C-alpha cells in the first residue's frame, strides 16, 4: 500500500483519520453515554437521563458525520487511484519496446487492464481501509470494555479471538485459489478476444463448433475456479458468524450473572454488549478482508511480473540526441541480426549488411520471400535495437543515440498490414494530430483516396468502422500511404504498401512518391514492373539475409544475376 498512497495523499490521510481514529473513538463514546442513560433510567434520575439523551443525540450525529466523511474520502481515493493507476499501467504498456510487447499476447494486456486492475482496486485497496478501520474499532472497543468491566471483557475476548487463528490458516489457500482464479479469468478474456477477432477465419474454415468447445472448457475452468474461491469465502463467513453469536451469548450470560451477584450494573452490561457489537462485526469483517487482501496481493504480483518485463520509459530524454534534419546519408555497416528469442539464440536473419542510402534518392528493395527485407526496414525504424553486430547511422549519428520522437520526425513507414482505428477517415490519416486542410487534401489526392471521399456524403468525416471493416484492402493501404505522406518526413519506407492495389493504382502512387524531390525512399516491392523499376535510382536485391546486388535496373538486368533471374521467373509465370 505504501506505493499506492502516492496516488492521492490527501484523501488517503482523510480516510484513515476518519475511519481508523475518529469513527472508533465516537463509537466508544456512544457506549459510555448509553451506559449513563440506562443507569440514569434505573436510578430514576430525570436530570441525568435528559442530559444523557442529549449527549447520545449529539454523539449519533457525529457518528453519522464521521461515517459519511470516511466513506467519501475512501471512495475519492479509490476513484483517483483507479484513474491514475490505470493511466500509469497503460502508459507502461504503450511505451514498451516492440519486442517486449510482442513477448506477451494482446489478451494478456487486455486481461491486465480489466480483471487484474479491478481485483487490485476491489480487493487490495478497499480491504486496506476496511482492515484499518475494523482493527481500530476492535482496539477502541476492547479498551472501552476493559474500562467498564475487565473481568467480563477477558471472557468476551477469549471467545472472540479463537476464529482469527482458524481464518488465518485459510489465508494461504485463499491466495493460491485467487491466483488460479485470476489465471483462468485471463485465459477466458484471451479466448473471447481470439474468437471475436478471428471471427472471419472461424466462419470461413467452419470451426465454430470446435471454438465453442474450446470456449466451453475455458469457461468451465473459469467458473470452477470462481466457485472454489467462493467456497473458501463461505467457510470464512460461517466461522466468523458462529463466533459472533457465541460472543453475544458469553457477554449477556456472564454479564447477567454479574448483575445478579451485584458486581456490575445493567447499564454496564448494556454498554459492553454495545461494544461487543463492535468486536463481533469487525472480527467477522477482518477475516474476510484479510483474505481479500491476500487475493489483491496475488493480483499485484501478477501485474508486477508483467511490468518487470517492460522497460521503464526514460523520463529525461536528454541522454539521447535530437536530430532535426536529414542532410546526407543513412549508413548501414556490418549489420547482422537475429530476432530476440526467449532462452535461446535466434536464427540469423540478416548477415553483414553494408549499405549507403543517399539523401533524395529512391531505392527499390527486391528479393525472395523471407530474405529479410521487412527486417531491414524494422531495424531502420529501430523497432529492434542492434546490440553488438554492426551499426545504423543517420548523418553519422548512430540511431540508437537518437531520441525516438526526433527519429520518427525524420523517418516513417507504410506497412502492408494497416491498423485502422474505429473513427473517421480524417482521424485515421491525421491520427488526431493537427494538419491544415490543404495538407489533408494533398495527402488524400496523392494516396488516391479522393474518389472515396467524394462518393461519401460525410466526406472526410465518414466513419470507417471497427478495424476499417467498411473499407476494402486497397482503401486501407491508401489510408496508410496518406498517413505517411501528410507527415512529410524526409525518409519514407514502404513495405509492400501497394500489394492490395491494381497495377494502375500502384503505378500512380509509386510515381507520386518518385516525384517528391527531396524525399529519400526505400520501397519494398514484389511487383517487378520494368517501367517502374527503371525509375528508381537503385535496386537493392536481397537473398538469404544478405545483399547480393545493387545498381540501376538496366545495370542489374545486364549482369543477368539475381534480379534478372527473378524477373524472368515472374514473366515465365
Ligand atoms: N518476429 C519475428 N521473430 C522471429 N523471426 C522472424 C520474425 N519476423 C520475421 N522473422 C523471420 O525472419 C526472416 C526474414 O523475414 P522478413 O519478414 O524480413 O522477410 P521478407 O523478405 O520481408 O519476406 P516477405 O517478402 O515474405 O515479406 C524470415 O525467416 C522470418 O521467418
CATH assignment of the domain containing 497: 3.40.50.300
Q: Is 130 in the pocket of ligand 1 (CB under 6 A)?
A: no
Residue 131 lies in a domain: yes
Longest dimension (CA), the chain: 122
With beta carbons less than 8 A apart as the criterion, state whether 530 and 567 touch: yes
Residue 433 lies in a domain: no
With beta carbons less than 8 A apart as the criterion, state whether 314 and 267 touch: no
Residue 49 lies in a domain: yes
With beta carbons less than 8 A apart as the criterion, state whether 256 and 269 touch: yes
Distance (angstroms) between ligand 1 centre and the Cα of 98 equals: 15
Helix 23-42, helix 266-308: angle, nearest 10:
170
Distance (angstroms) between ligand 1 centre and the Cα of 350 equals: 10
Residues 128 and 212 reside in one and the same domain? yes
Nearest residue (by CA) to ligand 1, atom 6, is 339
Distance (angstroms) between ligand 1 centre and the Cα of 435 equals: 35
Mutation choice for ligand 1 from 102, 368, 370, CB with most ligand atoms inside 8 A: 370
Q: What per-residue confidence (pLDDT) applies to 317?
A: 58
Mutation choice for ligand 1 from 345, 347, 369, 374, CB with most ligand atoms inside 8 A: 374
Residues 285 and 350 reside in one and the same domain? no
Residue 118 lies in a domain: yes
Residues 145 and 195 reside in one and the same domain? yes
Residue 212 lies in a domain: yes
CA 473/CA 486 separation, integer angstroms: 20
Instruction: Give the chain's radius of gyration (CA, Å).
Output: 35
Nearest residue (by CA) to ligand 1, atom 27, is 369
Q: Is 285 in the pocket of ligand 1 (CB under 6 A)?
A: no
Q: What per-residue confidence (pLDDT) applies to 526?
A: 81
Q: What per-residue confidence (pLDDT) applies to 26?
A: 93
- The DSSP call for residue 314 is P
Residues 239 and 372 reside in one and the same domain? no
Domain span at 133:
2-308
Residues 413 and 526 reside in one and the same domain? yes
Nearest atom (ligand 1) to Cα of 347: 5
Q: Is 525 in the pocket of ligand 1 (CB under 6 A)?
A: no
* C-alpha cell recorded at residue 572: 515465365
Query: Mind giving me the DSSP string for 454-468?
Result: HTSTTGGG-B--GGG
Distance (angstroms) between ligand 1 centre and the Cα of 343 equals: 20
CATH number, domain of 19, equals 1.20.1560.10
Phi and psi at 107, nearest 5°, equal -60, -40
Q: Is 545 in the pocket of ligand 1 (CB under 6 A)?
A: no
Residues 283 and 353 reside in one and the same domain? no
Distance (angstroms) between ligand 1 centre and the Cα of 540 equals: 17
CA 289/CA 236 separation, integer angstroms: 10
Tens of each residue's pLDDT in the chain, 573 residues: 657 888 888 999 999 999 999 998 998 898 889 888 988 988 888 999 999 999 999 999 999 999 999 999 999 999 999 999 999 989 888 888 777 787 777 878 888 888 889 889 888 888 889 999 999 988 888 888 888 888 888 888 888 777 767 767 776 777 788 788 888 888 888 888 888 877 867 877 778 888 899 899 999 999 999 899 888 888 877 877 787 788 888 888 888 888 898 888 888 888 888 888 888 788 778 877 887 888 888 888 888 888 887 776 555 556 778 888 888 999 999 999 988 776 677 788 999 999 999 999 999 999 988 999 999 999 999 888 786 678 999 999 998 888 888 888 899 998 888 888 888 889 989 888 889 999 999 899 888 888 888 888 888 888 887 777 778 878 888 898 898 889 888 999 998 877 777 777 788 778 888 888 888 999 998 878 888 888 899 999 999 999 999 999 989 989 888 888 888 776 544
Q: Is 370 in the pocket of ligand 1 (CB under 6 A)?
A: yes
Residues 120 and 218 reside in one and the same domain? yes
Residue 238 lies in a domain: yes
Q: Is 371 in the pocket of ligand 1 (CB under 6 A)?
A: yes
With beta carbons less than 8 A apart as the criterion, state whether 426 and 486 touch: no
Q: Is 347 in the pocket of ligand 1 (CB under 6 A)?
A: no
Residue 442 lies in a domain: no
Nearest residue (by CA) to ligand 1, atom 29, is 370
Residues 275 and 361 reside in one and the same domain? no
Residues 102 and 26 reside in one and the same domain? yes
Residues 115 and 206 reside in one and the same domain? yes
> How many other CB atoms are found less than 10 A from the CB of residue 19?
24
Report the DSSP pairing between strands 538-543 and 520-524.
Answer: unpaired
Nearest residue (by CA) to ligand 1, atom 31, is 370
CA 270/CA 266 separation, integer angstroms: 6
Residues 284 and 359 reside in one and the same domain? no
Q: Say whether the ipTM exceeds 0.95.
A: yes
From 277, 308, 339, the end of a domain falls on 308
- For residue 546, the SS3 value is strand
Nearest-CA neighbor of 524 among 544, 506, 502? 506
Distance (angstroms) between ligand 1 centre and the Cα of 344 equals: 18
Mutation choice for ligand 1 from 373, 544, 562, 570, CB with most ligand atoms inside 8 A: 373
Distance (angstroms) between ligand 1 centre and the Cα of 357 equals: 22
Q: What per-residue confidence (pLDDT) applies to 374?
A: 93
Nearest atom (ligand 1) to Cα of 542: 21
Nearest residue (by CA) to ligand 1, atom 17, is 374
**The total number of structural domains that make up the chain:** 2
CA 207/CA 222 separation, integer angstroms: 22
Residues in contact with 262: Cβ distance below 8 Å, sequence separation at least 6, in sequence order: none
Q: Is 379 in the pocket of ligand 1 (CB under 6 A)?
A: no
Sign of CA dihedral 506, 499, 439, 411: negative
Q: Is 375 in the pocket of ligand 1 (CB under 6 A)?
A: yes
Residue 454 lies in a domain: no
Phi and psi at 392, nearest 5°, equal -125, 125
- For residue 24, the SS3 value is helix
Q: Is 378 in the pocket of ligand 1 (CB under 6 A)?
A: no
Residues 392 and 278 reside in one and the same domain? no
Nearest residue (by CA) to ligand 1, atom 13, is 370
Amino acid at each position: 500500500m505504501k506505493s499506492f498512497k502516492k496516488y492521492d495523499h490527501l484523501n488517503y490521510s482523510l480516510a484513515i483519520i476518519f475511519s481508523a481514529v475518529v469513527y472508533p473513538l465516537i463509537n466508544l463514546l456512544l457506549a459510555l453515554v448509553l451506559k449513563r442513560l440506562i443507569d440514569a433510567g434505573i436510578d430514576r434520575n430525570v436530570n441525568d437521563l435528559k442530559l444523557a439523551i442529549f449527549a447520545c443525540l449529539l454523539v449519533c450525529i457525529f457518528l453519522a458525520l464521521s461515517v459519511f466523511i470516511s466513506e467519501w474520502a475512501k471512495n475519492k481515493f479509490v476513484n483517483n487511484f483507479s484513474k491514475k493507476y490505470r493511466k500509469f499501467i497503460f502508459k507502461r504498456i504503450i511505451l514498451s519496446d516492440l519486442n517486449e510487447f510482442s513477448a506477451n499476447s494482446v489478451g494478456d494486456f487486455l486481461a491486465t487492464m480489466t480483471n487484474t486492475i479491478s481485483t487490485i482496486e476491489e480487493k487490495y485497496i478497499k480491504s486496506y481501509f476496511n482492515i484499518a478501520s475494523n482493527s481500530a474499532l476492535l482496539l477502541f472497543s476492547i479498551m472501552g470494555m476493559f474500562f467498564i468491566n475487565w473481568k467480563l471483557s477477558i471472557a468476551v475476548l477469549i471467545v472472540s479471538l479463537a476464529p482469527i487463528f482458524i481464518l488465518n490458516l485459510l489465508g494461504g489457500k485463499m491466495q493460491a485459489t485467487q491466483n488460479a482464479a485470476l489465471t483462468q479469468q485471463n485465459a477466458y478474456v484471451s479466448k473471447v478476444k481470439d474468437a471475436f477477432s478471428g471471427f472471419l477465419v472461424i466462419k470461413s474454415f467452419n470451426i465454430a463448433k470446435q471454438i465453442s468447445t474450446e470456449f466451453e472448457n475455458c469457461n468451465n475452468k473459469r467458473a470452477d475456479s470462481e466457485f472454489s474461491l467462493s467456497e473458501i469465502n463461505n467457510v470464512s463467513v460461517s466461522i466468523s458468524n458462529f463466533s459472533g453469536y457465541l460472543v453475544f451469548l458469553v457477554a449477556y450470560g456472564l454479564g447477567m450473572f454479574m448483575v445478579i451477584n451485584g458486581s456490575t450494573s445493567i447499564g454496564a452490561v448494556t454498554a459492553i454488549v454495545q461494544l461487543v457489537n463492535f468486536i463481533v462485526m469487525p472480527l467477522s469483517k477482518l477475516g474476510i478482508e484479510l483474505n481479500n487482501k491476500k487475493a489483491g496481493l496475488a493480483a499485484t504480483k501478477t501485474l508486477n511480473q508483467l511490468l518487470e518485463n517492460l522497460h521503464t520509459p526514460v523520463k529525461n530524454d536528454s541522454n539521447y540526441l535530437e536530430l532535426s534534419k536529414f542532410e546526407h546519408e543513412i549508413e548501414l555497416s556490418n549489420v547482422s541480426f537475429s530476432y530476440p528469442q526467449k532462452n535461446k539464440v535466434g536464427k540469423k536473419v540478416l548477415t553483414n549488411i553494408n549499405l549507403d542510402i543517399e539523401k533524395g534518392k529512391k531505392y527499390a528493395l527486391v528479393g525472395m520471400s523471407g530474405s529479410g527485407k521487412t527486417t531491414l526496414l524494422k531495424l531502420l525504424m529501430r523497432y529492434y535495437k542492434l546490440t553488438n553486430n554492426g551499426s545504423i547511422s543517420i548523418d553519422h549519428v548512430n540511431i540508437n543515440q537518437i531520441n525516438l520522437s526526433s527519429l520518427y520526425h525524420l523517418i516513417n513507414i507504410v506497412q502492408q498490414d494497416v491498423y485502422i482505428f474505429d473513427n473517421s477517415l480524417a482521424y485515421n490519416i491525421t491520427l488526431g494530430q493537427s494538419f491544415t486542410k490543404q495538407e489533408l487534401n494533398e495527402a488524400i489526392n496523392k494516396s488516391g483516396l479522393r474518389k472515396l471521399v467524394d462518393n461519401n456524403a460525410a466526406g472526410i468525416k465518414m466513419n470507417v468502422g471497427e478495424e476499417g471493416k467498411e473499407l476494402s484492402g486497397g482503401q486501407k493501404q491508401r489510408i496508410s500511404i496518406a498517413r505517411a505522406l501528410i507527415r512529410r518526413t524526409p525518409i519514407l519506407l514502404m513495405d509492400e504498401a501497394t500489394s492490395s492495389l491494381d497495377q494502375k493504382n500502384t503505378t500512380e502512387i509509386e510515381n507520386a512518391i518518385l516525384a517528391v524531390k527531396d524525399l529519400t525512399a526505400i520501397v519494398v516491392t514484389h511487383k517487378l514492373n520494368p517501367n517502374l523499376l527503371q525509375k528508381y535510382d537503385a535496386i537493392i536485391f536481397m537473398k538469404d539475409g544478405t545483399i547480393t546486388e545493387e545498381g540501376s535496373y538496366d545495370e542489374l538486368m545486364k549482369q543477368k544475376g539475381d534480379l534478372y533471374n527473378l524477373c524472368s521467373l515472374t514473366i515465365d509465370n
